[in-house]
Amino acid sequence: MTDYKAELLQGTLDMLILKTLALEPMHGYGISQRIQQISREVFRVNQGSLYPALHRLEKEGLIEAEWGASENNRRARYYRLTKAGRKRLSAETQNWERLAAAITRILQTA
Amino acid sequence: MKFAGWIRRKQAGRELDAELRFHIERRTQELQREGLSAEEARRRALVELGGTQQIKEEVRAMRTGIWLETVWQDVRYAARQLRKNPGFATVAILTLSLGIGATTSIFSVVRSVLLAPLPYSDPDRLVMIWNQYQGKPSHNASPDYFDRVEQSRTLENLAAFRSASFNLTGEGEPERLEGTLVTASFFRTLGTPPLIGRAFLEEEDRPERGDAVVLSHGAWQRRFGGKRSALGRSVRLNDRPFTVVGVMPESFSLLFPQVELWAPMAFPQEARSDKERGNESLLVVGRMKRGVSLRQTEEEMKAIAARVPETVPSRREFLTRANWSAEVVSLHEQHAGDLRPLVLMLFGSVVLVLLVASVNVANLQLVRGAGRKRELAVRAALGAGRGRILRQLCVENLCLAAMGAALGILLAWWGLQAVPLLALQESPLLGRTTMDAPVLLFALALTVVTGLLFGLAPALQSGRPEAHHALREGARGSAGAMRFLSRRALVVAEVAMALLLVVVAGLILQSFQRLLRVDPGFESSDRLTFRVSLPRSRYVGREQLQQFHKEAAARLAALPGVRAAGAVQSLPISGTRDTATIHVEGRPIQPGDKPFSCEYRMISPNYLRAMGIRLLRGRGFEESDAEGKPRVVL
């Protein structure tokens, strides 16, 4: 069971990124580490798909990026949630909860 | 613009590089801390990331392509929807293709006749100048032309020309060529340099010279195989030697589709004499100076004409009574003017047809919209935004319109082959009607407009977010009243437009029928015509000419299958005519009488029989009338 790592549901990666950035601004590497940690290694974040997702979210105006100094004083690109991103996150969260509840109900009744 | 975009893309690429490098470094450090060698750690970090080049590609595609990709999705979805509904799709596409096809083909006519400029330099400054009697235009006489050349201040250049035909003899088959005699200023006035060689020189425009010839592009290709060596070649025209000095470009022939060669007018000295006034056979084209209006030129020409009765006493009475003056028409208007109302009416009609077609398809869409409500509601419930659904519907409509347009353009192309049939009044401008880039662009614009036109109302209606209503069975009535109302409005508009179309078509048909029923006074079926011109150098004097015609008519009549053969100076309704003023003996002209002027034609004895013209009274001509002293007329 510990070997089993689910592929991320399409669209869920976006939500996880937004959630991660809701806590504090972070660079790409940090985001991948954090997602790995909080999902307790259940999801395998395909790091190849992380950066396209970041750039897509940036283009949609949900997050914004600027260069800053990292913990060990290297230049890194930091991402921050925008207002629109915050709104999207809460909407997605609600949506997800509804869907999850519905699926749970279906599984219980069936 | 483009450059800035390129810089931005370059910049974004560099930033992504740095970002990925940072990621790899950090991961390598971490893996080293876990005990891997530096080399192995770096390899693992790279593998985990899965190819930086691939990521970069993906990011780039995403930055430019995300919009395109969803549109493509919409297109595919639309195609699926239409395939599921082949009946609706076929009817809609056929309807639209008729509308778009008709509109496109008539637009190409509108463009060639009314919109596209003439293929001469600065064509808006070109005008035709005419004499005017009782408000009607007439050709120029040579002294009129010289008056204009000498006195005009508003015109930069003037040229006179008239058609003439030439017998080409010498090498190869003898051939009859249509040509135009022009003054040396002709090509300069129109502003078109020759394709090869040169135009006429002033000294070539004199009676003792006049031996240069400029070929049309067509004649050059046909007779000389398009070779440069045609220049300087000697040809015999009407039994006189001419030298080919130039070839005009193909575009120059637009207004002169029949003309194969141009030769110098070479006015003789008498052409300036007042005796020539009234001998009107010249066309005159002028180029206005920059900033001069057509009106100014016309006023000037009228003023010049007004001086003639004063300086030429012998014609004073006649000219004043005939209300003599001049008129100026733009060169474009001269060739498009008669067609303008016809073309515009046709265009109006086909636009109406297109509107009716759009309304029809809109109606079909509304009916279908009722059935699709559930499908759209499901999509909305699954998270598609209202904008996204609207776009989906628009894409679907544009797909329909595009397919209709593709078929329509084929129809239009086919329709263009039929246009010459429509040209009751022939204009050389119709000759350039083609499906070129601007016409296709117009068809494209038409597609988008119609796609949105017939699609928008239904799209707005079915795009209304009533998901929960629609998902519940039987909740159909909510928007029904509204939809019923708009469908009624569509039907009313459609019937009105269709009625208008029927009325217009009826009117066109009626006037066409009337035209067909006109009795021209002669019979045109089973009659063949051809033209001859005899070289002046060989046939001198009346006797020789009469001899030729007599013999030709006799030999033609003797051919098997020929019932009668006759000759005439110019065929009826062929456009060329000669006029003469008639004075009846013993009836002096009263002041205030309009001069009794008529067209006349010289004919041979058998002409009337050959043309099936009935005589009202009296007898036809006989051979003896030609030689006999009392000249006879009909």
Task: State the DSSP string of A32-97.
Answer: HHHHHHHTTT-B---HHHHHHHHHHHHHTTSEEEEEEE-TTS-EEEEEEE-HHHHHHHHHHHHHHH
Best probe of the B interface among A77, A88, A99, by most B CBs < 10 A, is A77
Residues forming a β-bridge with B343: none
pLDDT tens per residue, range B215-239: 999 889 988 888 888 888 888 888 8
Q: How many angstroms away from the CA of A29 is the closest CA of chain B? A: 5
Q: How many CB pairs under 8 A join A and B?
A: 53
Closest CB from B18, B27, B59 relative to A52: B59
> Helix B38-49 crosses helix A47-59 at what angle (to 10 degrees)?
50
Q: Point out the residue among A27, A32, A56 whose CB comes nearest to the CB of B62.
A: A56
Contact flag B62-A59 (C-beta cutoff 8 Å): yes
pLDDT score at B74 = 80
| Residue type at B355 in one-letter notation | L
β B212-215/B240-247 pair status = parallel
Contacts with B15 from chain A: Cβ below 8 Å: 77
**B137 pairs with which residues across the strands?**
B132
pLDDT in tens, A59-108: 888 888 888 887 777 788 889 989 998 998 998 888 888 888 888 888 88
Q: Is the CB of residue A47 less than 8 Å from the CB of residue B50?
A: yes
Higher pLDDT, B472 or A99: A99
Half-sphere exposure of B486 (CA within 13 A, CB side): 20
How would residue B1 be classed by pLDDT, with cut points 50, 70 and 90?
Answer: very low
Host H or E run for residue B545: helix B541-558
Q: Are B430 and B112 in contact (CB under 8 A)?
A: yes
Distance of alpha carbon A100 from alpha carbon B388, whole angstroms:
25
* Residue contact A59–B63, C-beta within 8 A: yes
d(CA B559, CA B29): 110
**How many CA atoms does the CB half-sphere of B123 hold within 13 Å?**
15
pLDDT attached to residue B248: 92
Q: What angle do CA A15, A20, A25 make, to 5 degrees?
A: 125
**Is the Cβ pair B49, A47 closer than 8 Å?**
yes
The region of weakest confidence among A53-57, A61-65, B340-344, B585-589 is: B585-589
- Asked if B66 and A27 come within 8 Å (Cβ–Cβ), the reply is no
Residue predicted with more confidence, B218 or B53: B218
Within 8 A of A51 by CB-CB distance, chain B residues are 16, 19-20, 55, 58-59
List of chain A residues whose C-beta atoms are within 8 Å of the C-beta of residue B18: 75, 77
Q: Extract the tokens encoding B201.
A: 């020189």
Which of the residue ranges B51-60, B292-301, B319-328 would you say has the lowest mean pLDDT? Answer: B51-60
- pTM comes to 0.60
Residue B571 has pLDDT above 80, yes or no: no
Q: Which residue has the tokens 């017939």?
A: B454
Q: State whether B55 and A52 contact (CB < 8 Å).
A: yes
| Residues in chain A closer than 8 A to B22 (CB atoms) | 27-29, 70, 74-77
Residue B129 confidence class, pLDDT cut points 50, 70, 90: very high
Q: Measured between CA atoms, how close is B107 to chain A, in angstroms?
A: 43
Distance CA B233, CA B29 (A): 89
- Going by pLDDT thresholds of 50, 70 and 90, the confidence category of residue B478 is very low
Interchain CB distance below 8 Å, A51 and B50: no
Q: Which of A48, A74, A75 sits opposite B49 (nearest CB)?
A: A48
